[in-house]
Amino acid sequence: MTETGKVYLVGAGPGDPDLLTIKARKIFDQVEVVVYDRLVSDEIMDLVPTGTSRINVGKQPRFHPVPQEDINDILVNLAREGRSVMRLKGGDPFLFGRGSEEASHLHANGVSFEVIPGVTSASACAAAIGLPLTHRGYATGARFITGHCSADSELDWDWKGLSDPNTTLVVYMGVTNLAQITLRLIENGLSASTPIAAVNNGTRPNQRCLISTLGEISKDLTELEFSGPVLFIIGRVVELTKALGFDHEQGGAGPVEARESA
- Give the pLDDT confidence score for residue 143 in this predicted structure: 97
Of the residues 37, 92, 164, 220, only one is catalytic, namely 37
Q: What is the pLDDT of residue 59?
A: 65
- Pairwise CA distance, residues 173 & 170, whole Å: 10
Residue 195, classed as helix, strand or coil, is strand
The one catalytic residue among 23, 26, 29, 59: 59
Q: Which helix (H) or strand (E) covers residue 212, if one does?
A: strand 208-213
For the question of residue 59 being annotated catalytic, the response is yes
Domain 121-260 has CATH 1.20.1630.10: no
Q: Give the domain ranges of the chain.
A: 6-116, 121-260
How far from chain centre, in Å, is Cα 255?
19
Distances (CA, A) of 249 to 31, 87, 193: 43, 38, 20
| Distinct helix (H) and strand (E) counts, the chain | 9, 11
pLDDT at residue 243 in the model: 74
- Enumerate residues 6+ apart whose C-beta is below 8 A from 41: 12, 15, 16, 17, 90, 204
Q: Which amino acid is at 52?
A: T
Q: Out of 3.40.50.300, 3.40.50.720, 3.40.190.10, 3.40.1010.10, which CATH number does the structure's domain 6-116 have?
A: 3.40.1010.10
Strand partners, 170: 144, 233
Active site residue 46: no
Per-residue confidence of the chain (262 residues) as pLDDT tens digits?
A: 568 899 999 999 999 999 999 999 999 999 999 999 988 999 999 999 999 999 999 765 555 578 999 999 999 999 999 999 999 999 999 999 899 999 999 999 999 999 999 999 999 999 999 999 999 999 999 999 998 765 556 788 899 999 999 999 999 999 999 999 999 999 999 999 999 999 999 999 999 999 999 999 999 998 888 888 999 999 999 999 877 766 554 333 443 444 444 3
